[in-house]
Amino acid sequence: MRDVLFNPIKLKGPQERADYCERIAYEYDRLPAMDRSEVWRWRKLMSHVVTMYKRMSKQVQVLFVDGQPYKTAQHMRDSVKKTGVLKISRDFNTHPVFTPEENLKFRAVHDYVVHILPGKGGPDFTRKGELRAYNLHRRLAPKDAWPALFTEVAAQACYATVRGDFPAQKVAVFSDVDFYNVGLDKSGARLRPAAQAASARVANPEGTYFDAGKGQLVHFEYVDHRYGPDGREAYLLKDGRWMLGVRKTPHGNLLNRRFTKRPPKWGSTPNPTRALKNRLLSS
């Protein structure tokens, strides 16, 4: 019964879970901070949260506090059972879409429905536990909100366990993740480790920029890439045109885009394998 309830993740053992989380953290770094075309999914998720918060408020008192009130999930379950009070941390409470109050309510609902209600043996705060927690919460949330829930729960948990710190919260959707079968990609195959994903990007390089007019992230393939001074970059597209622009940060938007048939006079072509490998190791 418990296996049915938690819809077991498609990962066998600690190493496969570690590889999966490394890939998710790698992709999280490459997501834009805000993809406006996906904001509606976060609003769907918040509608679910509002409904669940009203229901749980009849069962437990919620207090928002500074710091981390619980050392383990079992500590939280024992404390709530004894006091009837669920404490939710206000740490890292900045979100691109949710208000501070909405974000805290989301945390409260998530902790209550996936860590407390299942009782002893429910998901803990480990890497495996948080992936199971996402699976359980997913069964309660609207399907359209699953990608947002994955970013908020599974992706952030993976990032924290891999990088050792809580990530900046983002509103963006993973493009190649199966949100139902954790561990698989959209083709039904095992999601490849980060190192393999980096190698694939070298073989089939792809860039992105955010189109403010359309309000969405745009992907493009290129055959050459050059760096210039002051954040300038140039991409040779498959149709033979060069696309030039400026990036203020390594993973920021490509600004002031323009197209030309002539290559830029500045810049050089870096070793793509070395560049990706160095970025992966330093991130």
Specify the number of domains making up the chain.
Answer: 2
Distance of CA 81 to the CA centre of its chain: 32
Pair 235, 138 in one domain: no
Taking residues 29-40, report their average pLDDT.
90
Please tell me whether residue 204 adopts helix, strand or coil conformation.
Answer: coil
Q: Which two tokens stand for residue 107?
A: 């945390």
Q: What is the pTM of this model?
A: 0.70
Alpha-carbon distances, residue 48 vs 84, 105, 139, 208, 253 (angstroms): 23, 11, 12, 31, 31
For residues 150 and 172, the answer to whether their CB atoms sit within 8 Å is no
Q: Is residue 183 part of a domain?
A: no
Note the residue count of the chain. Answer: 283
Q: Which amino acid is at 240?
A: G
Check whether 99 has a pLDDT greater than 80.
yes
Q: Which of 109, 138, 163 is the last residue of a domain?
A: 163
Q: Is residue 187 part of a domain?
A: no
Least confident of 77-81, 86-90, 149-153, 253-257: 253-257
**Residue-range definition of the domain harbouring residue 260:** 198-282
Q: pLDDT grade, residue 43 (50/70/90)?
A: very high
Check whether 127 has a pLDDT greater than 60.
yes
Q: pLDDT grade, residue 15 (50/70/90)?
A: very high
Q: What is the pLDDT of residue 276?
A: 40
Which helix (H) or strand (E) is 30 found in, with range?
A: helix 13-30
- Closest C-alpha among 163, 175, 249 to residue 206: 175
Pair 39, 143 in one domain: yes
Check whether 56 has a pLDDT greater than 50.
yes
Which helix (H) or strand (E) is 48 found in, with range?
A: helix 39-56
Q: Give per-residue pLDDT as tens, 196-236.
A: 766 555 556 677 777 777 777 788 888 777 777 777 888 88
Pair 143, 230 in one domain: no
Q: Which two tokens stand for residue 137?
A: 């919460």
Alpha helix stretches (DSSP H) within 164-271: 194-203
